[in-house]
Structure 1
Amino acid sequence: MPFTSRRLRAVLLATASVTLVAATLPAPEPLGIGDRLFPHLGNPGYDVLAYDIALTYRGRNTEPLDAVTVIDARTTAPLDRINLDFTRGTVRSVQVDGRDARFAAAGEDLVVDAPSRLPAGAPVRITVRHTSDPAGGKADGGWVPTADGLAMANQADAAHRVFPGNDHPADKAYFTFRVTAPKEFTVVAGGLPAGRTEQGGTTTWTYRTAHPMATELAQVSIGRSAVLHRAGPHGLPVRDVVPAADREKLEPWLRKTPAQLAWMERQVGPYPFETYGLLVADTETGFELETQTLSLFERSLFTGGAYPEWYVDSVMVHELAHQWFGDSVSPRSWSDLWLNEGHATWYEARYAEEHAQKPLERRMREAYARSDAWRAAGGPPARPDAPTPGHKISLFRPVVYDGSALVLYALREEIGEAAFDVLERTWVRAHRNGSATTRQFTGLASRIAGRDLTEFFDGWLYGERTPPMPGHPDWRSGTPGTAGPAPVSAEPGSGRDAGRAAKLR
């Protein structure tokens, strides 16, 4: 066939980056699902069922990884175009159900023209061949360079800096990771191993999740790592990934996890996933992160000697508690973040009280004193202010940590310990593997309490001022100059660098 302008255009589409292709298509536009805090995250018209992500790492963090992302989805409305969240990579080609598709960039969306109109309720497979660029990961999330490789830190809006997808926790899916790396590297990802093959000087490692996962919770670790195994409650596989040179130094911390798992199960019921463990990375991210089944921790937390043992234990329990609250039960919108962080902080504080004689009531009273200032600085717990432009993790403010744990303390005081215990267990059981809303939580609390708690929650979750604390009429809030975190003696995490809001996620 002659080399026509049509063929030339096809070649350009197949080889150009997203940015270069944008000019060849009718004006695409970024879409979103209407999240108040992240208006362009997520995309309407389809539900992702599964991701299959293949990555090739050549041993250099300065070099983009080659990648193929296959998305199996089902349409929820007729579609002529499919928007995917994706940026910081070069797209080489896109196929829809095996047919070549045109694509373009719009904001941080990859906009794909379906070869033909897709009806509602139809299965669709989208295959994107692209690169995944680790440059800039520490600054704004996505890939995080470590001393010996890479890890992921995708919360809240950074998964689409690694792979294309529907980057919002309202759309959870199953994941398969296939990662090829030089044979001297060890690769571990969320889920369980599903095969390993060697070819020449490289190894391909495959992992699959047994439960759906939000994109922000995906984890892939590539490094010169040791993988340590032990048994948790009921034979649960516990797997830790650590720098090989630090395995003995870290062992006293790692061996704590089975007992922490057992403690959390006594509080809220069975662990919700197929495995758990710590990924200890030689990097300074400024936070720890509850990536599903494999929580990310900075090496310095355990080896730096700057923090007391009870404090480090509490950080470990905070990320563990997230496996129930935030991972298994994910927020339907980012305004529901208080359900994640408030609960993780609540169980971290409860653990510190039981194991380190750090009184919960003292911590909550100090949080109450700061609560009005926290609300003024960051909004009420269930209606937080938008993050600072260019600094998305500023969403993680004190009001969503101790300010939200304070809501749970008030709720327990209001309805009693027995009803509160039933609420917690019922919540994680009823919404396991899904996404849930604040309204669902408050509705469940009212049903279990046997009375309408709307007025109580309106004040505690949405009020500009903190309501009176049930059972503690002498507590006072609004003390000038108390917008910062509470003292470290009362609040695990508050003493780390810029404070809890920057350190625990």
Structure 2
Amino acid sequence: MLLTSRRPRAVLLAVASATLVAATLPPPGPLGIGDPLFPYLGNPGYDVLTYDLDFTYGGDNTKPLDAITKIDARATERLDRINLDFTHGEVRSVEVNGSAAEFVTAEEDLVVTPARPVGTGARIRITVHHTSDPSGPGGGWLRTADGLAMANQADAAHRVFPGNDHPADKAYFTFRVTAPAGLTVVANGLPEGKTRKGANTTWVYRTSHPMATELAQVSIGDSAVIHREGPDGLPVRDVVPAADRELLEPWLRKTPDQLRWMERQVGPYPFETYGVLIAGADTGFELETQTLSLFERALFTRPEYPEWYVDAVMVHELAHQWFGNSVSPHRWSDLWLNEGHATWYEARYAAEHAGKPLADRMRSAYTRSDGWRAAGGPPAAPEPPTAGRQISLFRPVVYDGSALILYALRQEIGDAAFQRLERDWVRDHRDATATTADFVALASEAAGRDLRDFLGPWLYGKKTPPMPGHPDWRSTPPAERTVAR
């Protein structure tokens, strides 16, 4: 037995201090950064600088992957605990700055108590040994016919790996994925090599630009990777089921010209590579994962989809590389900036390449706009998603209902000022996040006058304002429409 009365005074003080901290800390619980649509998403107190994600895939896409997530971050305040977004996986151990840390789960947070508190401004290295489970609904891993891909929007990245799962905290990513040697792995960014060891191969990819967690992508499968060149030598690589390479080539070869078209609209492509990932899965959506947009195979193979429509959808996801990926929303209520712009360039492309008049599409959207606002809120203040169905946030009001704002703005300030605004927007906020207020301020600068009174009702009004140049346009509330039977 060691008598406490014989301990050195410094030891007694340290024990007393630790006891006092433990006594004053509240019970572990989920935290958030105050996003009104996802109140427990993201975590205060630190800024993630890099993620190093290590996955081991055994070849069965129904079984959890072994994983190690390493996070380098900087504390923005003193941290006695560190909250990470993570759910749907088993946590085996956690280290903070090389020392074992205690951890508990609280709803969809992993709450870590480091051996020593982290001071403001200090660097943090967090290492989590865990599993990553592809089973169950809710997004994250997407099971394909031959393996896995990711679909993390809006809040499903933390079903795959621990982190700060909010687009306000972008970081650089490194992916190390070990899979059976017969499979191909592709991830965001550019390859940094692969190593064969026995029956497995480890592939390494790294991003050259910061990325939101929702945009992470890893494809594992029996894939063909097709390389070609885009504007100014940009490496373009497409990832498709190996058996479909020839079938899909007519679509894949369109990407370089689509890139050139987008560059003529808004300026240079913002990343180190681009390509499409066509997955053997029925998703019901396409997704702008950074540098490697995800598409479901059916979009390109079902005969009821006309060519012009598929082309426009491809441009929609491509436009997101500028709007949403390079310039990310600071809060999820800024989502209209992503989807409104992607829909705008999708519609513009269809108008120029398929004779689908932009004004016709915008007039149709205007007719429905009041109904969309009533059902889902105004574009810049959308209603929260339905509980348990986070993807329900992606309503018509954030697509055509938000592209309508851009059409109204161009009508109001003229094409030259509008084009200047679009180019300045993606240049000034490249690799960063931005808000609706930032857009209004830059639009005012481009127009040479304050546009807050003009844009405010378009962004936040319950009713759709009059369309400049089209006084005859009317928006009909749902109850007043005639229902065809």
Q: TM bucket by the smaller chain?
A: over 0.9
1:437 alignment partner AA:
T
Deviations 1:23-51, CA, capped at 9 Å, x for gaps = xx972010000000000000000000000
1:173 alignment counterpart: 171
1:466 alignment counterpart: 464
2:38 alignment counterpart: 38
How far does residue 388 in structure 1 lie from its aligned partner after superposition?
A: 0.3
1:350-389 matched pairs, under 5 angstroms: 350-389=348-387
1:454 alignment counterpart: 452
Report which stretch shifted further, 117-126 or 147-156.
Answer: 117-126
- Does the 8 Å contact 1:55/1:67 carry over to 2? yes
Deviations 1:132-162, CA, capped at 9 Å, x for gaps = 00001xx311000000000000000000000
CA distance in 1, matches of 2:392, 2:45: 30
CA distance in 2, matches of 1:147, 1:184: 15
- Does the 8 Å contact 1:96/1:125 carry over to 2? yes
Does 1:119 pair with 2:123? no
Report which stretch shifted further, 301-310 or 45-54.
Answer: 301-310
How far does residue 115 in structure 1 lie from its aligned partner after superposition?
A: 1.2
1:72 alignment counterpart: 72
Any gaps of 5 or more consecutive residues in structure 2?
1-24
1:107 alignment counterpart: 107
When residues 64 and 483 of structure 1 are mapped into structure 2, their CA distance, relative to the original with a 3 A threshold, is farther
How far does residue 482 in structure 1 lie from its aligned partner after superposition?
A: 8.6
Question: Which of 213, 216, 224 is the equivalent residue of 2:214?
Answer: 216
1:336 alignment partner AA:
D
2:88 alignment counterpart: 88
1:234-273 matched pairs, under 5 angstroms: 234-273=232-271
Q: Tell me the secondary structure at the aligned position of residue 339 of structure 2.
A: helix
How far does residue 428 in structure 1 lie from its aligned partner after superposition?
A: 0.1
Question: Which of 280, 287, 306 is the equivalent residue of 2:285?
Answer: 287
2:302 alignment counterpart: 304
CA distance in 1, matches of 2:102, 2:340: 44
How far does residue 483 in structure 1 lie from its aligned partner after superposition?
A: 9.1
Q: Greater Rg, structure 1 or structure 2?
A: 2
CA distance in 1, matches of 2:91, 2:343: 40
2:195 alignment counterpart: 197
Deviations 1:245-277, CA, capped at 9 Å, x for gaps = 000000000000000000000000000000000
Deviations 1:85-141, CA, capped at 9 Å, x for gaps = 0000000000000000000001100000021111111111000000000001xx311
Q: Tell me the secondary structure at the aligned position of residue 272 of structure 1.
A: coil
CA distance in 2, matches of 1:221, 1:70: 20
- Does the 8 Å contact 1:54/1:178 carry over to 2? yes
1:50 alignment counterpart: 50
1:375 alignment partner AA:
R
CA distance in 1, matches of 2:66, 2:222: 20
- Does the 8 Å contact 1:370/1:483 carry over to 2? no
Q: Tell me the secondary structure at the aligned position of residue 79 of structure 1.
A: coil
2:67 alignment partner AA:
A
Deviations 1:451-499, CA, capped at 9 Å, x for gaps = 1111111100000000000111111012546999xxxxxxxxxxxxxxx
- Does the 8 Å contact 1:377/1:483 carry over to 2? no
Deviations 1:324-352, CA, capped at 9 Å, x for gaps = 00000000000000000000000000000
1:196 alignment partner AA:
K
When residues 446 and 34 of structure 1 are mapped into structure 2, their CA distance, relative to the original with a 3 A threshold, is same
2:432 alignment partner AA:
G
CA distance in 1, matches of 2:303, 2:177: 34
1:113 alignment partner AA:
T
1:314 alignment partner AA:
A
1:337-486 matched pairs, under 5 angstroms: 337-480=335-478
CA distance in 1, matches of 2:480, 2:171: 41
2:452 alignment partner AA:
T
2:464 alignment partner AA:
T
Deviations 1:300-347, CA, capped at 9 Å, x for gaps = 100122200000000000000000000000000000000000000000
2:214 alignment partner AA:
E
Question: Which of 159, 168, 174 is the equivalent residue of 2:157?
Answer: 159
Q: Tell me the secondary structure at the aligned position of residue 116 of structure 1.
A: coil
1:321 alignment counterpart: 319
Q: Tell me the secondary structure at the aligned position of residue 60 of structure 2.
A: coil
When residues 28 and 321 of structure 1 are mapped into structure 2, their CA distance, relative to the original with a 3 A threshold, is same
1:19 alignment counterpart: none
CA distance in 1, matches of 2:93, 2:443: 49
Q: Tell me the secondary structure at the aligned position of residue 456 of structure 2.
A: helix
Deviations 1:166-195, CA, capped at 9 Å, x for gaps = 000000000000000000110000000011
Report which stretch shifted further, 304-313 or 264-273.
Answer: 304-313
2:22 alignment counterpart: none
CA distance in 1, matches of 2:234, 2:33: 37
CA distance in 2, matches of 1:245, 1:62: 22
How far does residue 211 in structure 1 lie from its aligned partner after superposition?
A: 0.2
CA distance in 2, matches of 1:72, 1:173: 9
- Residues paired across the two proteins, number: 458
Q: Tell me the secondary structure at the aligned position of residue 49 of structure 1.
A: strand
- Does the 8 Å contact 1:373/1:482 carry over to 2? no
When residues 482 and 355 of structure 1 are mapped into structure 2, their CA distance, relative to the original with a 3 A threshold, is farther
Q: Tell me the secondary structure at the aligned position of residue 311 of structure 2.
A: helix
Q: Tell me the secondary structure at the aligned position of residue 191 of structure 2.
A: strand
2:10 alignment counterpart: none
Q: Tell me the secondary structure at the aligned position of residue 270 of structure 2.
A: coil
1:499 alignment counterpart: none
Any gaps of 5 or more consecutive residues in structure 1?
1-24, 485-505
2:142 alignment counterpart: 144
Deviations 1:191-220, CA, capped at 9 Å, x for gaps = 000110000000000000000000000000
